[in-house]
Amino acid sequence: MYFPDALTSYTPEEIRAFIVQRLRAALPGLELEQRHGEPYRLTMSHPEAGDLVLNLGNLVHELRSAPPQTAERLVDTYISLAKSAMTPPEIALKSVYPGLRHGAFLDATGQDMSDRIIGEGPGDLVSVILADQGDGLATLNEKAVRAAGFAPEDVLMAAERNFVDLLPRAFRAAVPEEGVLSLGLQNRPWLGTSVLFVPSLISCVMEERGWKRALLASPTRETVDLVNMDRSGATPLMENWMAQNLAGPRTQSEVVFTFSAGETEYRQSHRMFDGRLLRVN
């Protein structure tokens, strides 16, 4: 047992110190440093896998209200995930794809837009390269790519080629509820938001259904979701849809665009804030 009694008797600082101790014992080959002025955020560094920023705040909060056995399991799971994240990914050019992740992803991984693998995405999203590991998924960075013997340009080109080859057989459109159209990729839900890379495909889907204008968003990683703007109650419907999905796991973007059939660019028109869909200038 790691904890002899309920963690309510421990201070947050004591719990944090225990987690750091366990991380150092489980990952002896990695550098682990506290971020300046942020006691619950740690930077973990691997010479090949790069840096990972750990936020211990949520874990400490969960542990304080958990019974000892549950606390042990939570700590073990957290360390296991950290260890997996710091394992250098296996990179095969046939298994890389372009993905989109929320901009907060960069802060969570200690990266920034200077990384040549990272690019700008629509709204609050950034473009990343995802490597299918078979039993998991790795988000690549330039350091890991070069360590594997590839140039960033080769990986970017391979990802684009793989995505284009994948689209015809994997693309799917569904109606999860009346008035909502969800677009994604069959058997690769982690890549669903990447449909945003192909506005011409979204335009074709709209034209097939006789839609002229749509509210468009990607509140989760799995899908790109549309609501017909010419139907009654389109904005309240999108607001409700966004609120439901942003309250679940693997949330993605809080931005809503307007998009017209035949166009090639998304225009940001709304953003979710405190459960409400607000118009932006």
- Does pLDDT of 195 surpass 50? yes
Rounded-to-integer distance, Cα 14 and Cα 17, Å: 5
What is residue 10's DSSP assignment?
S
Per-residue model confidence (pLDDT) at position 1: 40
> Could you tell me if 179 and 152 are in contact, meaning their C-beta atoms sit under 8 angstroms apart?
no
**Mean pLDDT value across residues 249-277:** 93
pTM of the predicted model as reported, rounded to 2 decimal places: 0.73
**Mean pLDDT value across residues 32-49:** 69
Confidence of residue 70 (pLDDT cuts 50, 70, 90): confident
Q: Is 3 helix (H, G, I), strand (E, B) or coil?
A: coil
In angstroms, the Cα distances linking 206 to 80, 178, 200, 203, 215 are 44, 16, 10, 5, 11
**Mean pLDDT value across residues 213-224:** 96
pLDDT digits (tens, 9 = 90+) for 46-55: 655 556 677 7
Per-residue model confidence (pLDDT) at position 53: 72
- Does pLDDT of 217 surpass 80? yes
pLDDT digits (tens, 9 = 90+) for 109-121: 667 788 999 999 9
- Does pLDDT of 78 surpass 70? yes
**Mean pLDDT value across residues 115-139:** 88
Between residues 33 and 12, which one has the greater pLDDT? 12
**Mean pLDDT value across residues 161-188:** 94
Question: Average pLDDT of the chain?
Answer: 86
Confidence of residue 30 (pLDDT cuts 50, 70, 90): low
> Could you tell me if 186 and 171 are in contact, meaning their C-beta atoms sit under 8 angstroms apart?
yes
- Does pLDDT of 227 surpass 90? yes
